[in-house]
Structure 1
């Protein structure tokens, strides 16, 4: 088998090389002698029981301008790749789910993260296995239940079950706007509702989990006037360490994820609480961690991948 890695992601020209974890993983793979074939979900085809892609053979460069070169356009049997990386961004919709079904047909290629695991590990629902380490949390689409929860906890945060990147998050401090909430529920269906944590003003900690091991974390500070720490929402990464409670929670989640066959994940903590975001679809933050610590976890990633049987 040739040393080829196929990466299922978004458009090449959407890459932000300063923040893109996939770009960092691709660069490190090239250093190890792998060729990169890039494709999107629209490029997947099942023909004669084989999975073919209409992909792009590409070379990446560690520079700000002209950071990639398209070598050729190829029709490629994914079973001829050594590894496939699932790295496209959410939303986790039917297109995303269908892509995992395509990949389940591969016979000899290792897929990171495992497509069945990506389907089964709901990024919000999975966190409820650890409710004792979370702020008070309910999942519902019942307006009365949400209002009752608000009366009890005064300040609440509401998140779509399949939300991502800090989008569409509601914060209710005063009276709940029932009409607005009804429209929100109609659009997003079941939602996660949590007691608001005052510590969110100090940011969150994104923890990196690779092959069941807790490998580091960054602290993300929200911009002024915001409760959202996501880099895509204007958050700024700074160097941090995990305290004993945070490390305990992270190790428990890491152990559980490994059992579920999730190789690479990111979890978020605020004030010593797991806040219900366990990112398994396209974990981010490795470039920020490298810039802050001079530790390139992409190297550890590939070292661990190549040890898999």
Structure 2
């Protein structure tokens, strides 16, 4: 079966070939005979059927009905805004499998999705009221991490050490917007562990050790080889099948000190970094999995709308 894919991504000029996961997948797919078009979310449109003004491998732009593709990769980076939201609704109009599922991207905020597994998270509160948030900070000993729910790549994340910290009002817009607070884990200084899941199985893992401060992400951290502890593997065996059942096939699961902290489903990264550390072709593994998925394989579940 001839494979033709569409990758919906950020402006190409903003992507870094040496670290970008989406480009790695495209580069692994094309030598396998897969025709991969690219587009941005503003290129989607509907005229009786949902279509896209796609860019082909030679750089030409042409309209293509989404149903003509074998597979669609939704790889637009956060933030999740209205433009992103409407794009997921348009992607839900096609019969072509979309990874990750547009309905899952709408249903699950990347901070809140982890609450389905709250028992393995650090003590966490989501609320809008600065007083309620402050009381929680006091209960946790006066040291918590404050996260905006639309935060990504460590942005809009702050350390709160007092119950009446003014950041609680700033982040909540004086009590009008919910935020997440979590007990601060000193283990973050040793590193935040990013585990990539392909379907319900571990594709690879990397420890991101902050160069300074506590923001552990690829931009501000040293990437180190690591393995999963038995406790982390046990959490993965619970989380992986749950994700696949909801059409989420490529995921970045984050741990600090064996506690689940986030589940990244919008545009998980780390393929290049882990591949270099482990001398493995992770992008090739992803392509083979997606080929199977696009052909109706159900070993790891199926993509949804």
Aligned to 1:141: 128
Q: 2:14 aligns to what?
A: 14
CA distance in 1, matches of 2:6, 2:91: 12
Counterparts of residues 84-233 of structure 1 (less than 5 Å): 84-107=72-95, 109-153=96-140, 154-174=142-162, 176-178=164-166, 180-186=167-173, 189-224=177-212, 226-232=213-219
Query: Following TM superposition, by how much is the alpha carbon of 1:164 offset from its aligned partner in structure 2, in angstroms?
Result: 0.9
Counterpart position of 1:26? 26
Q: Displacement of 1:113 after TM fit?
A: 0.9
**Within 2, Cα distance between the matches of 1:110 and 1:2?**
15
Q: In structure 2, how many angstroms separate the alpha carbons of the residues matched to 1:133 and 1:76?
A: 44
Counterpart of 1:306 (choices 291, 300, 304) is 291
Q: Distance in 2 between matches of 1:2 and 1:257?
A: 28
2:53 aligns to what? 54
Q: In 2, Cα distance between the equivalents of 1:181 and 1:173? A: 11
CA distance in 2, matches of 1:190, 1:210: 31
1:2 Cα shift?
4.8
Gaps of 5+ in 2: 297-305
Match of residue 76 from structure 1:
64
TM-fit CA distance, 1:91: 0.5
> Residues 228-267 of structure 1: matches in 2 within 5 Å?
228-232=215-219, 234-267=220-253
C-alpha displacement at 1:121, in angstroms? 2.3
The count of residues paired between Structure 1 and Structure 2 equals 292
Matched-pair contact (CA < 8 Å) for 1:2–1:81: no
Partners of 1:207 and 1:250 within 8 A in 2? no
Kept in 1, the 8 Å contact 2:131–2:164? The answer is: no
Q: Which residue is equivalent to 1:66?
A: none
User: In 2, Cα distance between the equivalents of 1:133 and 1:297?
Assistant: 28
Once the two structures are superposed, what CA deviation does each residue of 1:54-96 show, in whole Å capped at 9, x if it has no partner? 22113xxxxxxxxxxx531222222111111000100011111
Contact 2:148–2:171 (8 Å) recurs in 1 = no
RMSD over aligned Cα atoms:
1.5
Structure 1: segments with no counterpart, 5+ residues: 59-69
Q: Distance in 1 between matches of 2:106 and 2:171?
A: 25
What's the secondary structure of 1:306's corresponding residue? helix
SS at match of 1:251: helix
8 Å Cα contact 2:133/2:168 also seen in 1? no
Indicate conservation of the 8 Å contact 2:76/2:267, yes or no.
yes
TM-score (normalised: structure 1): 0.91
2:280 to 282, 295, 304: 295
- Does the 8 A contact of 2:134 with 2:168 survive in 1? no
2:39 corresponding residue in structure 1: 39
The structural deviation recorded for 1:7 is 0.6
2:254 corresponds to 1:268: yes
